[in-house]
Amino acid sequence: MKCPFCRCDNDRVIETRTSDDGFVIRRRRACQSCKKRYTTYERIEIVNIRVVKRDGTRVPFDREKLRQGIERACWKRPVREAQISELVASLETRLEGETEVSTQRVGELAMELLRKLDEIAYIRFASVYQDFANVQDFATALQSMTSEKVVDDGGTESAANVGE
């Protein structure tokens, strides 16, 4: 792997780590020439997945666009760049083998993964992606998250299953 700093092709893997779901391998590398460190990700390549939008049009799956949406949701949250990369890679892995996927499905997967990472980021993402119709929807989603932590208070459970 060429060093992104000095372009020298002389690196050494200093750490190899597998993501929680086991679908992504992260390698920490050290350039033997300039001594700088960088990270590479190994994941299953997904090809030819098309996303079906709500109006029925189909567009190629856009990793960057998804990543930007996630990054926006994680703005000023204690989420590291590496965690976002892993999230995107995990999501892609789950789409492996499919040829078409709805925007809704992509959104649900993103929410499911984001929720494990940071609850505020999850809510932000959900509010954009789920297109909450009104304040009540939003409040219900918030409440479902809270009631999961507290002992079951008999609150609404419909929104608690989002993305699961």
| Interface residue list for Zn ion (CB under 5 A) | 3, 5-6, 8, 31, 33-34
CB of 47 to Zn ion, least distance (A): 31
Residue written as token pair 């949406």: 69
3-state secondary structure of 146: helix
Closer of 1 and 59 to Zn ion (Cβ): 1
Closer of 1 and 128 to Zn ion (Cβ): 1
CB of 161 to Zn ion, least distance (A): 48
Closer of 26 and 29 to Zn ion (Cβ): 29
From CA 164, how far away is CA 162, in angstroms rounded? 6
CB of 108 to Zn ion, least distance (A): 40
CB of 29 to Zn ion, least distance (A): 10
From CA 45, how far away is CA 107, in angstroms rounded? 20
What six digits make up the tokens of 55?
A: 């109006």
From CA 26, how far away is CA 84, in angstroms rounded? 13
Chain CA centroid to CA 56, Å: 24
Closer of 3 and 89 to Zn ion (Cβ): 3
CB of 35 to Zn ion, least distance (A): 7
Closer of 14 and 59 to Zn ion (Cβ): 14
Residue 75 neighbours by CB distance under 10 Å: 10
What six digits make up the tokens of 108?
A: 């649900």
Alpha helices, DSSP H, located in 31-102 = 63-73, 81-95
